[in-house]
Amino acid sequence: MSIIKSSKKQDQLLLDGYCYRRAKSSETTWRCSKNNCAGRVRFDNIKYVSITDHNHAPNPEQTIANEFKSKISNSATISHDPPRRIIHEVLLSIDKNDGTAVPTYSSSQRTIERKRKKNDLPLPSPKSLSEIQIPDELKLTNGGQRFLLYDNGDVDHRMVILSSDDDLDCLSNSDHWHCDGTFKMSPQLFYQLYTLHGFVCGRALPLVYCFISGKSEPLYGEMFDNILKHISQRPTTITIDFEKAVENVVKLKLPMTTVSYCFFHFKQSLWRQVQGLGLQDLFVNDHQVRRYLKNFACLTLVPESFVIGEFERLQTEAPDSINEFVDYYEDVYIGRTIRNNRRRAPRFTIPMWNCFARFKLKKIFKWKLTNTDLPEHIAVKIREQIRHSFNDWAKHTSIIFQETGANDNADLNFVVTDQSHKRNDTLDGKLKYTIELVSDNSRFEMIKPWMNEYNLRFITTHQIGHFLGLNHCNDTSSIMFPYYQNIQPKHFLTENVTTKYGKSIPAFESKKVLKAAAEVVPTKTNKTSDKLIKSRKENGRYTNSFNPKFKFPSPALAIKWKMSTGVNTQLPYSKKELDKFLPIIRHNNSEELFRTTSGIRFIWIGHATCYIQMNNFRFLLDPIFSKRCGITSLIGPKCFRPPALSVNDLPGNLDAILISHNHFDHLDFRSVLDLNKRYGARLTWFCGLGLRKWFLKMGIRNVIELDWWQKYHFAKKEINIAFCPAQHWSRRTAFDINQSLWGGYAVWNTQHKFYYAGDTGYTHNISIFQQIGKQYGPFDLSAIPIGAYEPRWMMEAQHVSPDEAVQIHMDVQSKQSIGVHWGTFALANEYFMEPPFKLSQAVKNNLLNSSSFIVLKHVAQIYNVPTTTTFSEETPIPELGVETPQPEQLRVELNRINDWNFNIFRIEAISGERPLTAITYRIFQERDLIRTFSIEPHKLLSYLFALEDSYQQVPYHNKLHGADVCQSMHVLLNSSGIKVREKTKTFCFYYFLSNNKIKGRVQRIRDPGGDIRSSSARCPPSRDLAILYNDESVLENHHLAIAFKLLQADERSIFSNLSAEQMETLRKRVVDMVLATDMAKHKTLLADFQNLVAAKKMSGNDYLSLESYDDRILVLKNMIHCADLSNMTKPLDTYSKWIDRLMVEFWKQGDAERDLGLDISPMCVRSPTTKDKHQIGFINGFVHPLWETWGSLVYPDANTILETLAQNREWHEASLAALTSSTTDNSSSHDDKQN
């Protein structure tokens, strides 16, 4: 129902396919618009009620057309948008099934033009620059960001610059810029549109648009001044068109940037001269003239030192018909010859337009590995690490390294011998092999600690640097630092090597180097409103230079505090009383506590000690497990609440420990010793500048020191760690005050960001936290201190209050925050339970969500931040649906998606652990469903990511199984034994992919109860899910509910273009197909399927014609059932991996059943013969009859599948026979011994 305006501007009611106009005698009564019809309706304040019936049928198509015309007419009278945009926007509101009722494009265009002509809606036509007014809505982007960067308002020389903050950030991060002006596209009254392009993901994109009213140096200077003030980093190189004014300005404003002319504009200027001299006909008809003109253009590709010589040769040989062109070329680009064979300076100097230096020329070096009494498997490992080292240098030099045979000549020869090394300054004290790098004139000795293979790579990379001409340096972030550490090459090559190889080594970019190790790179800053705060030393001590009011907490202040302030902590004396406020409960299930999850897992252990797991990267913050925090175990504040976990409770695969500063409650001597004793060199420690020497005294060498804003890239885990500024101080003795740097940490990967503030006061004069938020945020999770803040006159400068903690939470743009640094030690004077209370008040006062900043319990409470990647219309869509460091390998594997023996495990490894998204997105592309059904790609990926993240991390029924079912269904749908009408086939495609997209991934999604791991598990009546779904297909129903719940969010509403009727039909099909996978319904489903196949055989057809809905849905149900049970039909190497995962899950299920007091299911009993015995029974009783029936339906397509199934069954039978025989022999041997 809708009310529109007619062409005569009268109200018209469109209702149920009829068109009404208002009755003359009533405001609430409407009459049919047909004159000979007495149809009437009346509005009774709630709905329209029919009074008199119509004498004709409804015409829904006409009402749709009238409504469409009304909408485009209204838009035409209020906007200046072009007709195509108006028509497109209105079409989006029309159901696609009603498309035939919409007027044609040409008719709609004429309607818009007539309406505008009639209403006389003139376009703005300013007569002067001063009359140009930019509406407020055009000063912002669609996302609400600033778009109008600069408008000088000058009536004579108006200049307008447009760019968003995101585009400026891209320009800041681009090492190369390209600038160009256009006159044809310039708006009225402006002289030109000048654009600045940056390189984003390897593509040049326009990022800044400048409308200027001339082309003079002052105007260009004004333009660059207003752009550069918003750019945090200057480009390395910039190309411009052939305009001297721009060249002069760029060289003045960007003195450290290499300026060159554009190759395209160089060729364009030559062609314009050819046209100006009337040489076009000769160029087309005379091949000799054409060849020489092209040769002059190619001088830009000749080495700069050869340009003049080659020009003189061409000048001598060129035909006389192009002499004018040669003279022009010499005057403008080469320079006229004057006395003493010297040349005048040309208008455009040779280095500016010559492009030879922009091309990479590579030199080839050969290397080989010579083994002396070396086992082959050792040689393979050593060769692999050496190859990695050469690849690291090859990426950042103009050199190609090639491995040669043992008998061939090589520039570099690695000689490996098996002998003990005599040096004592080893990395881990366990050396076995000596490796020497030998070249023509030098011999570099290297050692290989066999306990750590990665060290060989670092040492080899370092020694190759020596071979290339690099000496040791004092930069700890360089591979040429004299002490081996987990870093990457960063320095430039020395001058002689640069000359020899033609290219220097730039600073390495993160994520591109040392994939198996870690690297240090200087952070590339984003655009910030303030200059980034840098660490500074005064008289050998670090200072809070950004806050001149900061007062160091001297002993005198501490005495004043203790003497003038009474004790207000009110700690209970009895443990029983304290347990009421802060109970301590130990975790018994460490496997659940530390299991790997996608997202962030946060566990508060106590005080500032926290365990964080970010995907597969695990680290601790400021660990303290001692009873006191002090210089000894007898001196210092006592811990009134013990840590929830001990050092031995921590997982064995801990990667790193982050130390914010050296105070005893953050750097505990005994805890460090215990951690180092357990983990040793496997653990990487991070700290601020000046603190590494303390660790070295402790015998800990794997320590990375960082300055504020310095970033460390942990490449083997694809993690970045940056040290962030804070307002605090450092001290452990009377003699080391502020000799080490303090701070917090930002930790992030491609999916998540975490922030730890460390100990800090709030900087009111300049917000370092806003800088942190702009630099590294927004953060998914933050740990912010909320305790030890009273009295404020003493603590304000060094510890934030809960109110200030909330301010930090907002400054760093944290989505979720957790309060730490409270409830463990009585370090200050506030009531011991006051911090969480004041925190909740501060959250409420700032109108924040109460769950956005919380505290956790002293029970090692787990706080999870799941991966919830959401794509928007502005988000770049990955070509393969997922971001991966191995796109080419993933593309090759996905090209085999139609193969039944598809390597699903390989997809999991190279898709960034998103196999389900990668496979589904590829299937949608392969079947052209995104275009056919108008699915918005960003919504599709948002839904797939959310659905994939909803899976439980169980061994078998996980997202990989869902991806495997999807791919198997995709192959089965291509079976030639099924024939349907083309329209119905499209119907099946669509519903399979939509259904299977839900079904194939919906299986075994997270069960809120957490105990039941598969649909085979029996659900006791007391279980919430069993009660909710009345014990009927419990998990299948639960999975359906989750899948459809995810679809309700706007950003994941992939079926938004479906009508209500279509959505209802879709939901019915989905429910039918998902419930069909319940094994309880297997026999009934199979019997119906067998009857259908029997009917096909009786008909004598080679295919089954699926004309009825019942037949189609029955085949689809069994098809997805086959896909769900397809593991047994895959090659043995694939099937064996699946069955091993399944048995682990079943055994865990058996443990859960035992804990629930149930009889253990036969397939869940931990026995050596369980796997083979029950798989044989499952194949014979369920899998083989189903696949045999399917094979009859699609004969002969499934013959190979059935053969593989038989082979896998025989493998189980042989394995069972061997196990049974072994058990019998052991039993006989035991009986003999008894006798």
pLDDT at 130: 82
| 658 is a domain residue | yes
CATH number at residue 1158: 1.10.1300.10
- Residue 989 above 70 pLDDT? no
**Bridge pairing between strands 176-182 and 192-200:** antiparallel
| CATH assignment of the domain containing 839 | 3.60.15.10
Looking at the fold, whether 710 and 605 belong to one and the same domain comes out as yes
What 3-state class would DSSP assign to 523? coil
Taking only the tens place, the pLDDT of each residue in 796-805 is: 888 999 989 9
Yes or no: say if 439 and 418 are a contact pair by the CB < 8 Å rule. Answer: no
Is 1029 found in the same domain as 906? yes
Q: Give dist(CA 416, CA 421) in Å, integer.
A: 12
225-229, 616-620, 859-863, 1103-1107: range with lowest mean pLDDT: 1103-1107
Q: Are the CB atoms for 216 and 245 separated by under 8 Å?
A: yes
* Residue in this structure with the two tokens 């050596």, named with its chain if needed: 1168
Q: Is 961 annotated as a binding residue?
A: yes
Shared-domain flag, residues 480 and 560: no
Tell me, what DSSP letter sits at residue 187? P
Q: Is 847 left (phi over 0), alpha (psi -120 to 50) or beta?
A: left
pLDDT digits (tens, 9 = 90+) for 173-224: 888 899 999 888 888 888 999 999 998 766 788 999 999 988 899 999 999 9
Pair (1134, 1173) in one structural domain:
yes
> Is the residue at 516 inside a domain?
no
Going by pLDDT thresholds of 50, 70 and 90, the confidence category of residue 129 is confident
Give the separation between CA 268 and CA 1167, rounded to whole angstroms.
79
Shared domain for 333 and 433, answered yes or no, is: no
Q: Bridge-partner residues for 372, per DSSP?
A: 417
Same domain, residue pair 329 and 369: no
- Max mean pLDDT among 551-555, 670-674, 1147-1151 falls in 670-674
Give the closest residue to 1210 by CA, choosing from 1152, 1128, 1112, 1119. Answer: 1128
Instruction: List beta partners, residue 521.
Output: 711
Smallest CA-to-CA distance from 610 within 652, 661, 645, 653 is with 645
- Secondary structure class of 93 (helix, strand, coil): coil
C-alpha 965/C-alpha 969 separation (Å) is: 6
Asked if 518 and 715 touch (Cβ cutoff 8 Å), the reply is yes
Residue 723 amino acid letter: F
- Asked if residue 735 and residue 644 are part of one domain, the reply reads yes
Residue 977 CA: distances (Å) to CA of 311, 673, 1101, 1191? 71, 69, 10, 9
Sheet holding 363-372, edge to edge: 399-403, 363-372, 412-418, 431-438, 443-449
In a domain, 127, yes or no: no
What number of CA atoms fall less than 13 Å from residue 601's CA on the CB side?
17
Output the domain CATH number for residue 418: 3.40.390.10
Same domain, 372 and 494: yes
Structural domain includes residue 613: yes
On whether both 550 and 580 belong to a single domain, the answer is yes
Instruction: Supply the mean pLDDT for the chain.
Output: 78
Other beta carbons within 10 Å of 341: 6
Q: Could you tell me how many residues make up the chain?
A: 1235
Task: Express each pLDDT in 481-509 by its tens digit.
Answer: 665 544 333 333 333 333 333 333 333 22
370 and 383 belong to one structural domain: yes
**Is 851 found in the same domain as 921?**
no
Interatomic CA distance for residues 415 and 105, integer angstroms: 76
Q: Is pLDDT of 447 > 50?
A: no
Distant-in-sequence, close-in-space partners of 376: CB < 8 Å, separation ≥ 6: none
Is residue 131 a part of any domain in this protein? no
Residue 360 token pair: 């990479």
Residue 1020 has pLDDT above 60, yes or no: no
User: Domain limits at 104?
Assistant: 2-119
Which of 198, 228, 261 is where one domain is finished? 261
Tokens 């090459």 found at: 489
pLDDT value at residue 583: 75
Question: Which candidate, 704, 727, 711, places its Cα nearest to that of 776?
Answer: 711
The two beta strands, 29-32 and 192-200, are: unpaired
Whether the Cβ atoms of residue 936 and residue 980 lie closer than 8 Å to each other = no
CATH of the domain at 244: 3.30.420
Do the beta carbons of residue 547 and residue 616 sit within 8 Å?
Answer: no
Total count of domains within the chain: 6
Q: Distance (Å, rounded) from C-alpha 703 to C-alpha 705?
A: 7
Q: Residue 327 has what pLDDT?
A: 92
> Which ranges constitute the DSSP H helices of 933-981?
937-949, 959-972
As given in the structure block, the two tokens for residue 31 are 């009459």
Closest CA to 1180 of 1213, 1137, 1141, 1150: 1213
Alpha-carbon distance of 893 to 896, in angstroms, equals: 6
Q: What beta strand segments (E) does 986-1138 contain?
A: 1104-1105
Of 358, 390, 413, the residue at which a domain comes to its end is: 358
Which pLDDT value is given to residue 513?
A: 27
Q: What is the pLDDT of residues 1054-1067, one digit of tens each?
A: 878 777 787 787 77
712 shares a domain with 621: yes
Tell which of 212, 245, 261 closes a domain. Answer: 261
Angle at 454 between CA 450 and CA 460, to 5 degrees: 95
Could you tell me whether strands 609-614 and 11-15 are parallel, antiparallel, or unpaired per DSSP bridges?
unpaired
Q: Is residue 1180 part of a domain?
A: yes
Query: Among all residues, which ones are annotated catalytic?
Result: 957
Structural domain includes residue 621: yes
Tell me whether residue 1133 is in a domain: yes
Q: How confident is the model at residue 542 (pLDDT cuts 50, 70, 90)?
A: very high
More confident residue, 386 or 1019: 386
For 617-634, how does the pLDDT look when each residue is reduced to its tens digit (9 = 90+)?
A: 999 999 999 888 887 777
